[in-house]
Amino acid sequence: CKSKDLRHNIVMFEEQAPAYATLYSLLHQTSLFISIGTSGAVLPVGQYASMCEKSILNIYEKDVNLERYFDKIYIEDIISAIDKITLDIENFMKDGNV
């Protein structure tokens, strides 16, 4: 196709994804950020966590560089962490603590 009006629906390297502006706007309104299963290599979840009042990280392997941004960390698979994270959410909704 030689049309100059047609654009692929793929975010290329060094491009900002279309929803990132919305994401950043919502993060400024978010009190609790939870990251499950990501190393932060693609998206800067540490930065996202620092934008929120409280944050929880669930990853499978220890990552001290990423962990420093989070208030609570579960280094285990999500199956074993989900009940703990659910309780953290309930506690946060009640009294603001994780």
pLDDT tens digits, 51-63: 999 999 999 999 9
Residues in contact with 58: Cβ distance below 8 Å, sequence separation at least 6, in sequence order: 34, 35, 36, 37, 73, 74, 76, 78, 81, 85
User: pLDDT digits over 4-56, tens only?
Assistant: 666 566 776 777 777 888 888 999 899 999 999 988 888 899 999 999 999 99
pTM above threshold 0.95: no
Q: How far apart are CA 10 and CA 73, in angstroms?
A: 33
Looking at residue 9, its pLDDT comes to: 67
The pLDDT of residue 72 is 98
